[in-house]
């Protein structure tokens, strides 16, 4: 059978999504989902859906959703691409902007899907190692066809300096995709760069701040020529009808999104302060999760002990990440359960 499969695909590792545990009483803090309900308008639109529409193909250009996004960011619809989750946006960027023999850059550590997408297209990977404090400095004479710049970064939760990002995109000869999956939780963002610089695309998702991970909708904003290239190569009908309708009404209801974000930010601060009191090293988060190094024991051991108590967080076993846990911010009751469990475990040590 190996003769039937591309050698590059045989050699690569597949992406490993966060675990989706089943069962009663589980506190799930491992995949950065939003614990609060989305806009009430989502339920309303679902109640109003004409099921006869499901026999028809959806709008291949997602025009109604793009109009809302364009209004939200002060641009034209020609500057907006809508995809099947932001992961489709990332994959299409490699297909559209990286020639055979080209290269893809990204931070290390960062979103683990980036190198896998590069492997799928069989192009060179050019990671940039973050320093011991997870800050960044581009190497001299660095180049790549496309650079994925995650801001705030995952899994480290850190917001990178905006002026440094602007300096980078001005000097970089390739395309820069600024991945702002967690941008709504941060104090600032780089969306204006997408309209100011011809080589910049800014990507967003409805999976985090909008509490809509289940519908799979992401989008990006950028120069019309770059966006047009992505539309040339996307799947024919890449975003289904229900997703388009739900996304449209959710994006129009900014008040609900901002209220949910504020609730998460407040709980995030409480949890971070408590973990510091317990002796954790906690990085200053600008996302809906914390990046923290536990005291008294390894991160891997604490991960397993929490799991035994039906509390699921994320642990990455890689050399750069093995000392830390990534902890999604859930509801206040969920986080109190988590904190009580951590305290109990530490006291037992």
DSSP assigned state of 79: G
pLDDT tens, per residue, the chain with 349 residues: 778 898 888 888 888 888 898 888 999 999 999 999 999 999 999 999 999 999 999 999 999 999 999 999 999 999 999 999 999 999 999 999 999 999 999 999 999 999 999 999 999 999 999 999 999 999 999 999 999 999 999 999 999 999 999 999 999 999 999 999 999 999 999 999 999 999 999 999 999 999 999 999 999 999 999 999 999 999 999 999 999 999 999 999 999 999 999 999 999 999 999 999 999 999 999 999 999 999 989 999 999 999 999 999 999 998 999 999 999 999 999 999 999 999 999 999 8
- Residues whose CB falls within 8 Å of the CB of residue 255, separated by 6 or more in sequence, listed in order: none
Q: Are residues 203 and 273 in the same domain?
A: no
Q: Are residues 263 and 222 in the same domain?
A: no
Q: Are residues 91 and 237 in the same domain?
A: yes
Cα–Cα distance, 134 to 19 (Å, whole number): 25
Q: Are residues 87 and 191 in the same domain?
A: yes
Q: What are the CA-CA distances from residue 336 to residues 92, 157, 270, 302 (Å)?
A: 41, 21, 10, 17
The whole-model pTM stands at 0.96
Q: Are residues 88 and 212 in the same domain?
A: yes
- Expressed as residue numbers, the domain containing 116 is 40-254
Cα–Cα distance, 6 to 303 (Å, whole number): 37
Q: Are residues 213 and 316 in the same domain?
A: no
Instruction: Identify the domain boundary among 254, 287, 322.
Output: 254
Q: Are residues 265 and 222 in the same domain?
A: no
Nearest to 97, CA basis, from 189, 227, 197, 221: 227
Q: Are residues 166 and 237 in the same domain?
A: yes
Q: Are residues 236 and 264 in the same domain?
A: no
Q: Are residues 95 and 183 in the same domain?
A: yes
Nearest to 151, CA basis, from 113, 116, 194, 110: 110
Cα–Cα distance, 229 to 66 (Å, whole number): 16
């Amino acid at each position: 059978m190996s003769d039937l499969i591309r050698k590059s695909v045989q050699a690569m590792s597949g992406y490993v999504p966060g675990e989706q545990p089943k069962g009663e009483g589980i506190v799930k803090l491992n995949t950065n989902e939003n614990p609060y309900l989305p806009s009430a308008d989502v339920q309303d639109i679902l109640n109003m859906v004409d099921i006869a529409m499901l026999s028809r193909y959806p709008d291949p250009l997602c025009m109604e959703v793009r109009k809302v996004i364009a209004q939200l960011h002060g641009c034209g619809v020609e500057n907006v691409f809508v995809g099947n989750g932001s992961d489709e946006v990332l994959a299409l960027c490699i297909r559209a902007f990286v020639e055979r023999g080209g290269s893809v850059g990204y931070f290390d550590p960062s979103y683990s899907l980036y190198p896998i997408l590069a492997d799928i297209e069989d192009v060179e990977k050019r990671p940039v190692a973050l320093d011991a404090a997870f800050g960044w400095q581009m190497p001299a004479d660095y180049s790549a066809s496309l650079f994925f710049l995650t801001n705030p970064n995952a899994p480290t939760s850190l917001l990178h300096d905006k002026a440094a990002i602007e300096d980078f995109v001005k000097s970089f000869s390739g395309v820069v995709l600024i991945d702002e999956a967690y941008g709504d939780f941060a104090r600032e963002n780089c969306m204006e760069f997408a309209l100011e610089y011809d080589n910049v695309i800014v990507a967003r998702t409805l999976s985090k701040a909008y509490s809509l991970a289940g519908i799979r909708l992401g989008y990006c904003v950028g120069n019309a020529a770059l966006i047009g290239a992505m539309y040339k190569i996307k799947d024919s009908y890449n975003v289904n009808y229900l997703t388009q309708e739900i996304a449209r009404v959710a994006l129009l209801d900014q008040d609900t999104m901002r209220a949910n974000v504020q609730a998460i930010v407040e709980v995030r601060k409480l949890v971070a302060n408590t973990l510091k009191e317990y002796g954790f090293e906690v990085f200053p988060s600008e996302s809906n999760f914390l990046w923290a190094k536990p005291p008294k024991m390894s991160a891997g051991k604490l991960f397993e002990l929490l799991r035994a108590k039906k509390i699921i967080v994320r642990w990455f076993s890689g050399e750069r990440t093995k000392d830390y846990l990534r902890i999604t911010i859930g509801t206040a009751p969920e986080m109190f359960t988590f904190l009580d469990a951590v305290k109990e475990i530490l006291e037992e040590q």
